[in-house]
């Protein structure tokens, strides 16, 4: 089973994420949707899925206030574990905002 617990984004709602599905068995495919407040300072968003035994990330460039408000990414084939799925909004001067959601992926049942 996959469960999610949203954690509030810093700096108001400048950045928010939603991870789906709400129920899954490993290997899991997670869809991450980052909603980003339009701002000319936005340069990139990095999306990370991390557990004790797994790490994957992707950085998507943004064109300031011309960038789409929503960015979507899919992580495929994640093994069981407790994950921190994070989005980091970056500007020319560094990190502008963070958002995080906890996810639990249950190990699949082995056939005998």
- The tens digit of pLDDT for each residue in 50-83 reads 999 999 999 999 999 999 999 999 999 999 999 9
Indicate the pTM of the whole model.
Answer: 0.83
CA atoms within 13 A on the CB side of 57: 13
Task: Tell me the domains of the chain and their CATH numbers.
Answer: 3-105 (2.60.40.730)
**Residue 112 and residue 109: Cα distance in Å, rounded?**
10
Give the pLDDT confidence score for residue 111 in this predicted structure. Answer: 61
Highest mean pLDDT: which range of 11-15, 17-21, 97-101, 107-111: 97-101
Q: Which residues of 48-85 are buried (b: 16+ CB within 10 A; e: fewer)?
A: bbebeeeebeeebebeeeebeeebebebeebebbebeb
């Amino acid at each position: 089973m996959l469960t999610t617990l949203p954690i509030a984004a810093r700096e108001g709602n400048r950045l928010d994420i939603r991870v789906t599905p709400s129920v899954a068995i490993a290997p899991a495919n997670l869809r991450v949707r980052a909603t980003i407040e339009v701002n000319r300072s936005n340069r990139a968003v990095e999306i990370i899925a991390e557990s004790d035994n797994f790490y994957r990330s992707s950085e998507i460039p943004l064109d300031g206030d011309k960038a789409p408000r929503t960015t979507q990414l899919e992580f495929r084939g994640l093994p069981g574990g407790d994950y921190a799925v994070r989005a980091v909004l970056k500007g020319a001067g560094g990190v502008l905002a963070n958002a995080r959601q906890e996810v639990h992926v249950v190990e699949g049942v082995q056939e005998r």
